[in-house]
Amino acid sequence: MKTDLHIIRLRAETPACENLIHFNNAGASLSPSIVTQSVAQHLQLEQLIGGYEAAEQAAGQIENFYPAFARLLNCDPAEMAFIENATRAWDMAFYAVPFQPGDQVITGQAEYASNYLAMLQLQKRLGIEIVVIANDAQGMLDLDSLREHINRKTRLIALTHIPSQIGTVQPAAEVGTIARGHGILYLLDACQSAGQLPLDTQQLGCDLLTGTGRKYLRGPRGTGFLYVNRNRMHELSPPFIDLHSARWVGPDNFEFRDDARRFENWECFVAGKIGLGVAADYAHNLGLEAIQTRISVVAGHLANRLREAPGVTVHEKSDNRSGIVTFSLARESAPGLQQRLRRSGINISVSRRVNAQLDSNVRQVGDVCRASLHYYNTVEEIDRFIAYLNQPRS
């Protein structure tokens, strides 16, 4: 198991590190040069010889997406699908479940906004029931409450592994054990965890897992992925299909593909698919355990420095934290601080209350600042960040 990273080399492979402090990796990470080059080279090839012809010539690079993610997630390549983004990957999984009126979906207090909107849509359209499990005092999904709410109508458990608005890592594997014990479908949103935590689909116990390329995997924007457990695939019906995901076997009949590509569509961002496979290999070769350790060190240092700063409130309470650190500054609004820091070459983001209403209402917080660190960030950058944070507003 790899336990250390060559940070100087990794920063050299990330050119923007010379001029920028990038603490917005939960929004979009800085891609390593090898990923950017793989995308640009294929786009140039398309320009020179044509899109279809370029895809034929680069078939091996395109196909690499499937074994690359199989290694990353400990699954079979046939269980992987390339989707244009994480939200559409999650939608393809969620809307594939054959819900009936009265079926129950269980989710958590910190569920991602787009996911919860889809649940609300099916609540209105089909009459499904949504059950929201509260967090405990540490911000973790209350597992006892989850067990108590499961009944014969529970059709799906949907959990966001690391919420967008707070950096607490939810107990995904424990939820998987509960779901498997009841034979309930389990959909895990790994949008923020893919690329910063080891993700083993067998240990997590999820039937469906979704994620994006642009965040901690350091891949291209406009790319996402979907894992589908082959043992549950027959229970699911993709919400739309085309000549790639299904075969037209007669004027009045069709057959789905027998692998997870039944959730794909024929037209896709081919250069992005190549780049995402390269990003997955890059992370796998570095080692996810080493990545997790490094992120924990720098994020822990940031959280400690923020707690020491006057007028700053850090919102994470659990020690089971990720690279996301959320905080509020008493004397300045979150959007105001974001813009002030950006003028100094420092990127953070703002998690808006309106996009996390279940969680924000319970925690009684408004818009908060979100600093999200990756392994290429340094202690020196954090110290400079704190110095800028403490400067008076101009």
**316 φ, ψ (degrees, to nearest 5):** -70, 135
**Statement to judge: residues 21 and 168 lie in one domain:** no
Count the neighbouring beta carbons within 10 Å of the beta carbon of residue 384.
15
Beta pairing, strands 104-108 & 129-133:
parallel
- Residue 132 belongs to a domain: yes
Q: Is the dihedral of CA 306, 308, 309, 310 positive or negative?
A: positive
Residue 141 lies in domain: 35-285
**Statement to judge: residues 349 and 264 lie in one domain:** no
Distance CA 206, CA 176 (A): 6
Question: Measuring CA to CA, how many Å separate 203 from each of 75, 158, 169, 198, 323?
Answer: 11, 17, 16, 10, 22
Distance CA 186, CA 208 (A): 6
What stretch of H or E contains 211? strand 208-212
**Statement to judge: residues 245 and 273 lie in one domain:** yes
Determine contact, residues 104/132, Cβ cutoff 8 Å: no
How many domains does the structure of the chain reveal? 2
**Statement to judge: residues 219 and 323 lie in one domain:** no
Vertex 304, ends 298 and 307: CA angle to 5°?
140
**Statement to judge: residues 169 and 292 lie in one domain:** no
- Residue 1 belongs to a domain: no
The pair of structure tokens assigned to 338 is: 């974001």
pLDDT for residue 354? 77
Which CATH number does the domain housing residue 77 bear?
3.40.640.10
The pair of structure tokens assigned to 131 is: 């059950």
In the sheet where 104-108 sits, what is the strand order?
80-83, 224-228, 208-212, 185-189, 154-160, 104-108, 129-133
Partner residues linked to 81 by β-bridges = 226
**Statement to judge: residues 71 and 181 lie in one domain:** yes
**Statement to judge: residues 165 and 50 lie in one domain:** yes
The pair of structure tokens assigned to 9 is: 């080399």
Cα 160–chain centre separation:
9
**Statement to judge: residues 130 and 46 lie in one domain:** yes
**Statement to judge: residues 45 and 67 lie in one domain:** yes
Count the neighbouring beta carbons within 10 Å of the beta carbon of residue 86.
26
Which single residue is written with the structure tokens 């990545």? 291
**Statement to judge: residues 211 and 146 lie in one domain:** yes
Q: Of the candidates 239, 255, 285, which is a domain's last residue?
A: 285
- Residue 394 belongs to a domain: no
- Residue 2 belongs to a domain: no
Distance CA 123, CA 104 (A): 10
pLDDT for residue 1? 38
Distance CA 168, CA 324 (A): 8
Q: Of the candidates 254, 285, 316, which is a domain's last residue?
A: 285
**Statement to judge: residues 55 and 23 lie in one domain:** no
Determine contact, residues 371/23, Cβ cutoff 8 Å: yes
Per-residue DSSP letters for 288-332? HHHHHHHHHHHHHHHHHHHHHSTTEEE----SSB-SEEEEEETTB
- Residue 66 belongs to a domain: yes
Determine contact, residues 239/91, Cβ cutoff 8 Å: yes
Cα 116–chain centre separation:
15
Per-residue pLDDT of the chain (394 residues; tens, 9 = 90+): 344 689 999 999 999 999 999 999 999 999 999 999 999 999 999 999 999 999 999 999 999 999 999 999 999 999 999 999 999 999 999 999 999 999 999 999 999 999 999 999 999 999 999 999 999 988 999 999 999 999 999 999 999 999 998 999 999 999 999 999 999 999 999 999 999 999 999 999 999 999 999 999 999 999 999 999 999 999 999 999 999 999 999 999 999 999 999 999 999 999 999 999 999 999 999 999 999 999 999 999 999 999 999 999 999 988 888 999 999 999 899 999 999 999 999 999 999 877 877 876 666 678 999 999 999 999 999 999 999 988 776 6
DSSP 8-state assignment for residue 170: P
**Statement to judge: residues 263 and 299 lie in one domain:** no
* Structural Rg of the chain based on CA atoms: 21
First to last CA, the chain: 48
Which CATH number does the domain housing residue 343 bear?
3.90.1150.10
Q: Of the candidates 285, 310, 325, which is a domain's last residue?
A: 285
Residue type, 264: E
pLDDT for residue 2? 47
The pair of structure tokens assigned to 135 is: 């967090």
What stretch of H or E contains 55? helix 51-57
